[in-house]
Structure 1
Amino acid sequence: MLSIARSFLSLALIAILVSPALTSESDHRYQEGDHVTLWVNKVGPYNNPQETYNYHSLPFCHPSGNAAHKWGGLGEVLGGNELIDSLIEIKFQKNIDKEAICQFELEEGKVKQFKDAIESSYWFEFFIDDLPLWGFVGELRSDKNSDLRKHVLYTHKNIVIQYNKDQIIHVNLTQDSQSSLEVGKKLELTYSVKWIPTNVTFGRRFDVYLDYPFFEHQIHWFSIFNSFMMVIFLTGLVSMILMRTLRNDYAKYAREDDDLETLERDANEESGWKLIHGDVFRPTRSLALLSAVVGTGAQLALLILLVILFAIVGMLYIGRGSIVTTFIVCYAFTSFISGYVSGGMYSRSGGKYWIKGMILTASLFPFMCFGIGFILNTIAIFYGSLAAIPFGTMVVVFVIWAFISLPLVLLGTVVGRNWSGAPNNPCRVKTIPRPIPEKKWYLTPSVVSLMGGLLPFGSIFIEMYFVFTSFWNYKVYYVYGFMLLVFVILVIVTVCVTIVGTYFLLNAENYHWQWTSFFSAASTAVYVYLYSIYYYHVKTKMSGFFQTSFYFGYTLMFCLGLGILCGAVGFLGSNLFVRRIYRNIKCD
């Protein structure tokens, strides 16, 4: 395993050494007159964030010469970025009044492409020294002589760059010189560059991209406070009601000086969860699958915690694709946890086919994501979009899974079976299963499962709005401290609600609590997905098969992970609760 890690580290170092990026850009320091590269990235409809294409897919003229490509990390490629040197001449601290980029003649096909792009509100993205610039291709203007709207193309780009000593701090792009689109017309694309000194430090140069009024609005703080009060209420509810009831039940079992008549009367009056002590630890159906999803959920919980902490400490939102890269790497190296939890749980419950459980644990969630990603990738390839993942990148992701994640799951499964796999049930399981009596509809496992996700969803409802808005509406999410608090609140609320649901189910003399506790917590993801449907139709202007597929595909991938995470947290909390309450009763 160490040799594999060293190999990956060596490859990363080699990639850095052979990178075509200039030294001045890599260390973000320039001398007067140094060349500053303007990288062109992508274009696409403004209302469809994932529908992006190569910048030169529009019929802009290509500058003469071989344009270099800048390949970022794994996360940048997965994010659909392809940076190409524009070959525009920009010198550090050298102003340019007006220079020509290129000239080209408008043919009928080019006019149609530009008009379609303008009608779809196409925007483009450039980068200078890892700082983004955005602009629109053109606009529709009202014609004074008719009711028709005229398509105009922006032909001049004003680039303003602010610098502090030898470092670039801010960049800005404005456009003018609108030109109408007419077949046979010759257009000249031009640019100008203006350098302005500033006192803003390099460490704060990304602050201009952060929307403080939006993310730090009072409603955001109120949502955190509201969720915190929900935690206090639920924990108090569990403590006062459940613990009080259980204490009364324990008191009956603790009496040793009662006469025979009292004992017989208590036995006749005994009902609820105490009657099923001989069945409550009976191995559930699809034990290998349950162990796999619980192990994967435990891994995802740790993974999310680590990524949030790294984002807080390392400000990962600054780098292109840094969050995705961190997620993939952390997922690979936390795979030991999923194997350990899954292997131990499967062995404790009497499972015999541990290899089957290990394979399910290692492959279930990644292969579900791969299946969704494969469909989306096929759509992206059909549309010729940058969202299509290159074959080489897919090979890299598979290698990470096959040579890091899979071996760690295997190691975790072996360690879990040997260290925590011994059966330790407080009560012996009876040979013949006890019949489950019919109860009212609201005490059935399906209703308990469906209702269990309402309060956890309520605790993260507002945060989901900010997360969705940042991902689908061009806002940089940077308040990971809020996300950490919401994540902790979600875990606590999920555990409390699932414990309450499990207690009601056991009191209904239904001992099929394992899958019910999992689905009760996992149903939070169902409500998140329903909210995503509302968000799509009410809060966005997305349209088209491409963007709709990517929106609901990505959201489905997210909700699968959220459901597995919450389900595992709910099951583990309920498992501790069930073992705790049956530990103090006298089992036959």
Structure 2
Amino acid sequence: MAADYRISRASWAILLLCLQLAQAFYIPGWSIKSYAEGERIPLFVNKVYSDNTQIQYAYSELPFVCPSSGRHHPGTGLISGSNVALNLGEVLRGDRITVSDYELEMGKDEEARYLCSQKVDKAGLKKAIEVVDKGYVAEWIVDNLPGATSFVTVDKSRKYYASGFKMGYEEVSVITGQPRYFLNNHVTLVIRYRGAPGKDGQQGKKVIVGFEVYAKSIEAENRDASGLPASLHDVAGLELNFNKTSTNATSIEDMDMPFDIDSAPDDATLTIPYTYSVYFREDDKLDWANRWDLYFVNQEDSNNIHWLAIVNSLVISGLLTAVVAVILARTIRGDLKGYKESGMEEGKLGIGKRRKGSRSPRKTSAEHGGLLEKVDAEVQADESSDDEVPEDITGWKLVHADVFRQPPHGLLLAPLVGSGMQLVFMSIGLVALSCFGVLNPSFRGGFISTGFALFIVAGVFSGYFSARVYKTFGGSNFRQNAIVTATLFPGLLFATVFILNLFVWAQASSTAIPLGTLFGLVALWLLIQLPLVYVGSWYGFNRAGAYSHPIKASTIPRQIPQQAWYMRSLQTILLAGLVPFAVIFIELLFVFRSLWQDKSGYYYVFGFLAVVSTILILAVMETTIIAVYIQLCSENYHWWWQSFFVGGASSIWIFLYCIYYYMNHLHITGLVSTMLFFSYSFLACLVYGLLTGTIGFLTAYAFVRRIYGAIKVD
């Protein structure tokens, strides 16, 4: 009975989880909400944000807006001021969705309606000035659509939306030359609708296909007893200034005197009245399933640039492919063919003309049976006093007995490779789900939530690859490696975010992660991530085992000759990183604009991103092969770490591009906002570098095993 009860509870938990996920997805044709005539439509307020700062605030917590009344909304089951349950992605992106006091009824226009009058003190007025001065934009939501300001394209052929509406505006006084700040205290809400499809449409119900908000500033004077202005047109704005309502202001000059809020009396107050208008307009040109298209029209105008990015990527990738083809098809294959042909003569290879002045290989035995081991043994046996080496034994073939030597600090490289594979699987899953439309703007916070879920599940792959590489490098304690793998990258990420969160907490920003969410993330790591990594590590270490090498490393390491300046580690990494960066830098313009400038915008061209990402992976693989081949030809067998750094080298250039973008395209002010920008940019580049570095490492490993395995004599 107890077991049945536990199974029943688990089944209910899984069912509830599936229902919650089903509600989160946006499925055209199935997730439609239709409204009857006169039915209440809830309006939710979310947050305010700005392109000039990384600090966001919850709209309902601003001291100068109308406080929630706590009244019930008939027919909706919602209470004004109550918070809406959020998924993990919404919490991390700073969403704080609350039920508002605005009353909307389907099909009912309201020319002017009074909401409330909020009396603000000195601190509240200071916050209002800050919000207006930094260009904050408010996000409201109706039927899962963010309120938007409408614009038209340059050729005036199409209309498009920009999410959010301005909280106020700034003017410069013609008398004093000082800035004056005006708060938008009146909003005109335009709800666009059309007939609902199917049976609901036959019953006269309607669906919402657009939500537009037009904000306006109206002075507090000249209002009737109900708080409504005498007119909504040709009115003066509401200036954020105690002097405007001061009885001591006797002239225009007095009213235009510079306002210093710090010198204002502590008991000074300003009353801000809030009103709104509602209009419902039918729009049959737009289907419900395509109602998000208006948010993307402005981005569609940049399709030509996206195609340019793809062409640029293809050209660079084509050149790299040609170089790799030459290396594989001509150079290496020619070397192998020459060795095999000469190997038939008298049972030994490479005996012929000798080259003077060459370095002598270290003493090795030929007991392993490899082709190059035999050559080395014969050279040692026939070694003359002038220290000569067979002329044919050159370049990458000289380091055959050292190329699989365990790298220094290899036990640290294994967890990095494991974490990189975890990110690879997560990224592939995110891009694939986005291309298929599962992750879309209507699934608010879905990209981050799904990314976390994929990252945690991919812990199995992280442990598996980390354990195999760890055992290949001679590791024996897979449990310790599993803990390091599960802790190294997530721990660094969590510690950085936690420290940044302290600064954001101090700003009372909605971007601050709640303490409960932090504990939840730790629980996910301890209860799910760590066990999955352990399971993958156990299987990779005990069942799959170490990777086999075609040639066994010798006992005595070979001396590496002096390298050319461009073959040194740092120079090679920087030069190699330029190539993948050149593949993606055009697409980075749109990604950066979506992340840092158009925070209210939605990046949606995942098809282009998938193509560019595929070409990027090919470019990383080919660049790593070329760099490792040149390094081996220079008789430098320390390729393990080098391949990892070469693969992730473009992250250095991306971070440098972030600095350039910050200085030339952004208008971020304030120490905390600047610190957040560079910290998040560093973390993003770290994730990217770890991902591409792992791809580079595994590609180089496969390449080296292939070319040296081909010369092994069975």
Q: Which residue of 1 aligns with 2:17?
A: 12
Residues of 1 paired with 2:349 and 2:493: CA distance? 62
Deviations 1:43-93 (A, max 9, x none): 244422443344432322314225211122111111101111111211122
Residues of 2 paired with 1:16 and 1:419: CA distance? 35
TM-superposed deviation, 1:214: 5.5
Q: Which residue of 2 aligns with 1:205?
A: 291
2:346 aligned with 1:263: no
- Give the secondary structure class of the aligned counterpart of 2:441: helix
Pairing partner for 2:417 from 290, 294, 314: 294
Q: Which has the larger radius of gyration?
A: 2
Q: Which moved more, 1:61-70 or 1:168-177?
A: 61-70
- Give the secondary structure class of the aligned counterpart of 1:141: strand
TM-superposed deviation, 1:120: 2.1
- Give the secondary structure class of the aligned counterpart of 1:140: strand
Residues 55 and 504 in structure 2, CA contact (< 8 A), matched pair in contact too: no
Matches within 5 A, 1:466-505: 466-474=590-598, 475-505=601-631
Q: Which residue of 1 aligns with 2:210?
A: 170
Residues of 2 paired with 1:353 and 1:247: CA distance? 40
- Give the secondary structure class of the aligned counterpart of 2:658: helix
What TM-score do the two structures reach when normalised by structure 1?
0.93
Deviations 1:148-196 (A, max 9, x none): 4432222211000011222111000112222223435543210011011
Matches within 5 A, 1:227-376: 227-255=313-341, 256-258=343-345, 263-265=351-353, 268-269=390-391, 270-313=393-436, 314-376=438-500
Q: Which residue of 1 aligns with 2:646?
A: 520
Residues 173 and 179 in structure 2, CA contact (< 8 A), matched pair in contact too: yes
Query: Between Structure 1 and Structure 2, which shows a larger proportion of helix residues?
Result: 1
Residues 312 and 481 in structure 1, CA contact (< 8 A), matched pair in contact too: yes
Q: Which residue of 2 aligns with 1:42?
A: 47
Pairing partner for 1:137 from 167, 176, 182: 167
- Give the secondary structure class of the aligned counterpart of 2:520: helix
Aligned partner letter, 2:278: V
Q: Which moved more, 1:167-176 or 1:214-223?
A: 214-223
TM-superposed deviation, 1:144: 5.1
TM-superposed deviation, 1:212: 4.2
Pairing partner for 1:100 from 89, 109, 114: 114
TM-superposed deviation, 1:529: 0.5
C-alpha spacing 1:303/1:18, structure 2 compared with 1 (3 Å):
closer
Residues 106 and 181 in structure 1, CA contact (< 8 A), matched pair in contact too: no
C-alpha spacing 1:181/1:348, structure 2 compared with 1 (3 Å):
closer
C-alpha spacing 1:227/1:423, structure 2 compared with 1 (3 Å):
closer
Q: Which residue of 1 aligns with 2:138?
A: 124
Aligned partner letter, 1:397: L
Q: Which moved more, 1:556-565 or 1:441-450?
A: 441-450
Residues 339 and 413 in structure 1, CA contact (< 8 A), matched pair in contact too: yes
2:71 aligned with 1:57: no
Residues of 2 paired with 1:547 and 1:69: CA distance? 27
Q: Which moved more, 1:182-191 or 1:526-535?
A: 182-191
C-alpha spacing 1:450/1:116, structure 2 compared with 1 (3 Å):
closer
C-alpha spacing 1:50/1:322, structure 2 compared with 1 (3 Å):
farther
Pairing partner for 2:549 from 425, 428, 435: 425
Q: Which residue of 2 aligns with 1:222?
A: 308
Pairing partner for 2:521 from 384, 397, 407: 397
Residues of 2 paired with 1:18 and 1:576: CA distance? 44
Q: Which residue of 1 aligns with 2:185?
A: 155
Residues 220 and 463 in structure 1, CA contact (< 8 A), matched pair in contact too: yes
Q: Which moved more, 1:204-213 or 1:370-379?
A: 204-213
The two structures, once aligned, show a CA RMSD in angstroms of 2.6
TM-superposed deviation, 1:280: 0.8
2:181 aligned with 1:181: no
Deviations 1:319-351 (A, max 9, x none): 211100110011111111111111122223322
Residues 58 and 96 in structure 2, CA contact (< 8 A), matched pair in contact too: no
Q: Which moved more, 1:325-334 or 1:205-214?
A: 205-214
Residues of 1 paired with 2:14 and 2:558: CA distance? 57
- Give the secondary structure class of the aligned counterpart of 2:171: strand
Q: Which moved more, 1:102-111 or 1:445-454?
A: 102-111
Residues 43 and 55 in structure 1, CA contact (< 8 A), matched pair in contact too: no
Q: Which residue of 2 aligns with 1:435?
A: 559
Q: Which residue of 2 aligns with 1:22?
A: none
C-alpha spacing 1:488/1:127, structure 2 compared with 1 (3 Å):
same
- Give the secondary structure class of the aligned counterpart of 1:70: coil
C-alpha spacing 1:6/1:432, structure 2 compared with 1 (3 Å):
farther
TM-superposed deviation, 1:469: 0.6
Deviations 1:227-256 (A, max 9, x none): 112111111111114431112221232023
- Give the secondary structure class of the aligned counterpart of 2:192: strand
Matches within 5 A, 1:436-585: 436-474=560-598, 475-585=601-711
C-alpha spacing 1:44/1:298, structure 2 compared with 1 (3 Å):
closer
TM-superposed deviation, 1:224: 0.5
Structure 2 unaligned regions, length at least 5: 1-5, 25-29, 71-79, 148-163, 196-205, 219-236, 246-269, 355-388
Pairing partner for 2:502 from 354, 367, 378: 378
TM-superposed deviation, 1:434: 1.4
- Give the secondary structure class of the aligned counterpart of 1:393: helix
C-alpha spacing 1:448/1:141, structure 2 compared with 1 (3 Å):
closer
C-alpha spacing 1:215/1:415, structure 2 compared with 1 (3 Å):
farther
Pairing partner for 1:91 from 105, 123, 127: 105
C-alpha spacing 1:27/1:391, structure 2 compared with 1 (3 Å):
farther
- Give the secondary structure class of the aligned counterpart of 1:290: helix
Q: Which moved more, 1:111-120 or 1:338-347?
A: 111-120
Aligned partner letter, 1:558: A
C-alpha spacing 1:557/1:423, structure 2 compared with 1 (3 Å):
closer
C-alpha spacing 1:160/1:49, structure 2 compared with 1 (3 Å):
farther
Residues of 2 paired with 1:558 and 1:215: CA distance? 27
C-alpha spacing 1:449/1:296, structure 2 compared with 1 (3 Å):
same
Residues 54 and 385 in structure 1, CA contact (< 8 A), matched pair in contact too: no
- Give the secondary structure class of the aligned counterpart of 2:339: helix
C-alpha spacing 1:92/1:26, structure 2 compared with 1 (3 Å):
farther
Aligned partner letter, 2:185: T
Residues 288 and 356 in structure 1, CA contact (< 8 A), matched pair in contact too: no
Aligned partner letter, 1:337: F
Pairing partner for 1:196 from 272, 281, 284: 281
TM-superposed deviation, 1:530: 0.6
C-alpha spacing 1:245/1:182, structure 2 compared with 1 (3 Å):
closer
Q: Which residue of 1 aligns with 2:96?
A: 82
Q: Which moved more, 1:505-514 or 1:445-454?
A: 445-454
TM-superposed deviation, 1:110: 3.4
Aligned partner letter, 1:158: T
TM-superposed deviation, 1:117: 2.5
Aligned partner letter, 2:212: N
Residues 84 and 97 in structure 2, CA contact (< 8 A), matched pair in contact too: yes
Residues 162 and 197 in structure 1, CA contact (< 8 A), matched pair in contact too: yes
Aligned length: 582
Residues 339 and 350 in structure 2, CA contact (< 8 A), matched pair in contact too: no
